[in-house]
Structure 1
């Protein structure tokens, strides 16, 4: 279903530009992008019939200055609430209910190697702690573990820390978020205790990635890679490191604006624009077999 009625783009562009200037984590970029949107509006670039086409055009312009893939005008086929973040939250809840809470697959492969798939995203921790804790506890007895993030499109940084807590032996500094508001920062650490059993920090660990792995999924892979805890197997990820918030700017359109930036304590940078580079590069479709074979070799030695 798409929206075919003629719409007035000016209110959408004006509100999106206002949100950019007020909230975008890079103030020096926000004015450039807002000015670009207004120039494009004045030139008639957004005189289109439907909100879906407007979303596509505006998103391309939003990302054209610095390539920030979290900076988007998202189209929603069904009308969404005007409450901040409601559009994404409604869709997220539907995905949570149909994916066993974000852990749709736990499997034991030959040789004592377990697979835990985390998809389609890392849901808010208040929802996901129970199903993820159960899945990771179930896999804790395996001799090696493969965490599959190939179809994971992001999610909650607190959930990243929760998952990491099952894969490490002690409390560890994972990441620091620098927020625009008040110029404050917030550190992310793994937890000192977890519900259930840990897989721990010494057995072989692999993380599968694809070109579709994004945002918080990338943070999970990047954090574990920087710590030397996991081998990343598959494809380079999409490269989005900026946490964002969403505002409804039209019944079918949501502006998502990054409000922070991640800085890893070991690399002093992040994966924005570059993605997470795999340690074992291969097609995403082959990543599970490559990781399993590597794990069996490690266990045999």
Structure 2
């Protein structure tokens, strides 16, 4: 409650500031936040002017950066974002299909977030995944990645550099680890006055990865949908999370063009997980095994190898070779 009041205090200051300077840009940003931000109690008016009074001297990129800093710092909601659109031309704006096509093309240049998929010694799968692209374009790449690791004994999913992305892709990725359809979470949208249920899919185009050890690597930079994948697989005891506490951004967002000069990203929804009746907003996802981001991969690889050795799971390595590999990794 204290954080909500502080943010309301600061945004009331912003409102007063807008009235004093007649700044149409800041006033429009304020109105969009007021109309769409998920917390309706944000605008309790408090009689003061403090936090944002220095905005009068800023413009362009500097104004965008300062607004982002203020909104995220005061609210502790890391999904707030303002970007200056230097060469924006409203007359040349693309329709939804053109925007999707353009985004998919640019995402394809980064292989839809799949940086690296390989098999480690001991028949352990490894997926280095850096972003959740829109599923209709990226599902084939996900299918290929999951088919590649389907015959491995355990799997490491590396989310240490993953900054999140599309909610649909989060649900599709989760679907590969649930045998049946599961109602993972609901999302409440205040501005639309509705709640949406979010489910995994009972059938996927690739091979599901079931009843095997899964290790998820995280860092403090793991964000949004990346946190969601770690959060849900951990909550259902389908994976161990190894590394650092994640960023703490659960609220879904919407985008608005302000004055044909700025892009405003506003958190418009609130996720509630069915399993935990909570989410990772503000708190992040706490790892099961805490270690530095740099040590997370070796920690997971060792855990996987030791589990294989302990349970006498057959791999391409003999028992002696597994023991030697474990000793080698422990010395490094």
Please give the range of the TM-score, normalised by the shorter of the 2 chains: 0.7 to 0.9
Task: Judge conservation of contact 1:84–1:248 (CA < 8 Å) in 2.
Answer: no
How big is the alpha-carbon RMSD for the aligned residues of Structure 1 and Structure 2? 2.8
Secondary structure of the residue that 2:202 maps to in structure 1? coil
Partner of 1:276: 285
Task: Judge conservation of contact 2:86–2:261 (CA < 8 Å) in 1.
Answer: yes
Partner of 1:232: 241
- 5+ residue gaps in structure 2? 1-20, 311-332
Task: Judge conservation of contact 1:179–1:260 (CA < 8 Å) in 2.
Answer: yes
Measure, in 1, the Cα distance between the counterparts of 2:37 and 2:70.
15
Deviation at 1:168, TM superposition (A): 2.1
Partner of 1:22: 35
- Match 2:111 to one of 95, 100, 111: 100
- Match 2:123 to one of 83, 87, 112: 112
> TM-score normalised to the size of structure 2?
0.79
Deviation at 1:74, TM superposition (A): 2.4
Measure, in 2, the Cα distance between the counterparts of 1:215 and 1:289.
25
Secondary structure of the residue that 1:170 maps to in structure 2? coil
Task: Judge conservation of contact 1:177–1:263 (CA < 8 Å) in 2.
Answer: yes
Secondary structure of the residue that 2:56 maps to in structure 1? coil
Deviation at 1:45, TM superposition (A): 2.6
Measure, in 1, the Cα distance between the counterparts of 2:292 and 2:30.
39
Deviation at 1:60, TM superposition (A): 1.9
Secondary structure of the residue that 2:164 maps to in structure 1? coil
Secondary structure of the residue that 1:150 maps to in structure 2? coil
Task: Call closer, same or farther: CA 1:77–1:136 in 2, change over 3 Å.
Answer: farther
Query: Are 2:188 and 1:178 aligned?
Result: yes
Deviates more, 1:285-294 or 1:70-79: 70-79
Task: Call closer, same or farther: CA 1:136–1:35 in 2, change over 3 Å.
Answer: farther
Secondary structure of the residue that 1:114 maps to in structure 2? strand
Task: Judge conservation of contact 2:104–2:137 (CA < 8 Å) in 1.
Answer: no
Choose 1 or 2 for highest CA Rg. 2
Secondary structure of the residue that 2:266 maps to in structure 1? strand
Q: Per-residue CA shift, 1:144-174, capped at 9, x if unaligned? A: 1111111111111211111111122222221
- 5+ residue gaps in structure 1? 1-7
Deviation at 1:58, TM superposition (A): 0.8
Measure, in 1, the Cα distance between the counterparts of 2:141 and 2:90.
28
Measure, in 2, the Cα distance between the counterparts of 1:248 and 1:35.
30
Measure, in 2, the Cα distance between the counterparts of 1:100 and 1:117.
11
Measure, in 1, the Cα distance between the counterparts of 2:45 and 2:81.
12
Higher RCO (CA < 8 A, seq sep 6+)? 1
Partner of 1:124: 134
Q: Per-residue CA shift, 1:250-274, capped at 9, x if unaligned? A: 4552110111011111211111111
Partner of 1:247: 256
